[in-house]
Homo-oligomer: A and B are copies of this chain.
């Protein structure tokens, strides 16, 4: 942490800052320039976060130097984390596609989708049983019944299951049914939920919040890791910008950034990231080309009848076509899809 004093800071003001830091037990590295005094603060990082140097007269600004995350960062953990679930793995040479409808709508729908997802070549099925909806009047999901249908589909097809958890009170129940717990964008900083999930030995897919910075996203992962859950998969799903043509702006640069700063696998959701099914194909390809470890994609047997997110869902035909094109691309990237 660096304290930059104002140009006209008096020696009394500089002394006041020094005394405060010394009292708190910090060392000071003083740099008296021609125009300004700058102080480097030496000592315990966590305690530095509680210093309120901006409140001192004569202080111009305080510049943090160290990254606030430890467990999620690559600095202490150089090798890639490989998240393994049975014979499926995230973070290595194999690419994973998670596909399925936004919401579990009925037993028939979900069994039909499962066959379709499997036929397309994917190994994991997505489907929401608890839906966080902007409007209280929208379809809110089939809840536990939906999870039962997902479990049945898994039994029939061998596909793994991922589904979103939205309430700390239902984590235990959800963990019984699913293979990967999904934390949605709106809950990325729902710390009560993060803490609850951190106590389970169950892989988690952590979506980036709508307006979460790279650092906030890593800190949310840090909550999970600090609580003991090490199987964290990051998911870029678009951020909120001024552009309204798309539902969100898919920030594909987050893929190489997160692969550099953390050791965790990174996947992309081009369905929510764009909100338009026509853009899912090119953005899925772009994600893999940028180095993503996988994708999560909305597919529906009949998007026109979907109870939510129809406009961004692929038909079975378009999904199969996409998988074939991704397979060619994977080869060019020295990765494996099928």
Contact = CB atoms under 8 A, between A and B. Distances in A.
A256 B23 CA distance: 34
Nearest to A315: B55
Interface string A90-126: 0000000000000000000000000000000000000
A329 interface: yes
Interface string A119-141: 00000000000001111111100
Contact of A189 (B134, B303, B313, B329): B134
Nearest to A329: B332
A6 B128 CA distance: 33
Interface in A242-266: 242-246, 249-253, 255-257, 260
Which range contains the number of A residues in contact with the other chain?
35 or more
Contacts of A310: 52, 54-55
Contact of A166 (B134, B191, B213, B332): B191
A14 interface: no
B166 A169 contact: no
A40 B31 contact: yes
Contacts of A222: 135-136
A244 B246 contact: no
A142 interface: no
A31 B29 contact: yes
A217 to B, nearest CB: 10
A41 B129 CA distance: 30
A242 to B, nearest CB: 5
Contacts of A49: 135, 137-138
Contact of A210 (B52, B65, B211, B252): B211
Contacts of A332: 328-329, 331-332
Contacts of A75: 6-8
B256 A240 contact: no
Given A223-B136, A274-B253, A56 B304 contact: yes
B55 A38 contact: no
A251 to B, nearest CB: 5
Nearest to A261: B245
Given A135-B49, A303-B55, A252 B168 contact: no
Given A2-B63, A55-B303, A249-B251, 10 more contacts: A50-B139, A52-B305, A54-B277, A55-B304, A55-B311, A68-B134, A68-B135, A249-B249, A252-B283, A282-B290
- Pairs of residues from A and B, 6 with the lowest C-beta to C-beta distance, nearest first: A52-B310, A211-B211, A289-B289, A54-B311, A332-B332, A167-B192
23 contacts: A6-B75, A31-B40, A33-B42, A36-B65, A36-B66, A40-B40, A49-B135, A52-B311, A56-B304, A132-B189, A136-B219, A136-B222, A213-B242, A213-B245, A241-B251, A246-B257, A249-B249, A249-B253, A250-B253, A257-B279, A286-B290, A289-B289, A329-B333
